């Protein structure tokens, strides 16, 4: 992708991916889901997950899988509220950018 992905957009994408699963999801799966829309490495993802957890947007728990513990991430109530804000902001932003690309007025 030629466009840079800022921290806020990456946070929004990760929150949206995690929020899809009611019981939460784990790091590798999150990476694979995010890669459907942009290229991201696990080394980029884990600091995002820690930042979201520190902000109170994600809760973390361990769950056994094939005899090993797997770390799961789940959106909190605060995280769901933040995701809702991100969605509202994105819709307005995307509409403005689309308007410019399609030749519309910038001052609408």
* Per-residue pLDDT at 2: 60
* Per-residue pLDDT at 105: 61
pTM assigned to the model: 0.86
Q: Which two tokens stand for residue 97?
A: 């950018």
Tens of pLDDT, residue by residue over 74-100, are 999 999 999 999 999 999 999 999 999
| 3-state SS class at 38 | coil
Report which DSSP code applies to 103. T
**Is pLDDT at 54 greater than 60 in this prediction?**
yes
Strands 25-26 and 58-65: unpaired
Q: Is 3 exposed, middle or buried (0-12, 13-18, 19+ CB in 10 A)?
A: exposed
Q: Are 16 and 34 in contact (CB under 8 A)?
A: no
């Amino acid at each position: 992708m030629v466009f840079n992905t800022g921290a806020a957009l990456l946070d929004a994408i990760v929150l949206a991916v995690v929020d899809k699963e009611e019981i939460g999801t784990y790091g590798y799966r999150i990476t694979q889901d995010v890669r459907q829309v942009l290229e991201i490495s696990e080394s980029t993802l884990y600091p995002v997950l820690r930042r979201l957890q520190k902000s109170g947007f994600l809760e973390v728990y361990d769950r056994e899988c094939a005899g090993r513990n797997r770390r799961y991430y789940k959106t909190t109530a605060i995280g769901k509220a933040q995701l809702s804000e991100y969605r509202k902001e994105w819709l307005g932003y995307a509409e403005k950018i689309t308007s410019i690309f399609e030749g519309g007025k910038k001052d609408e």
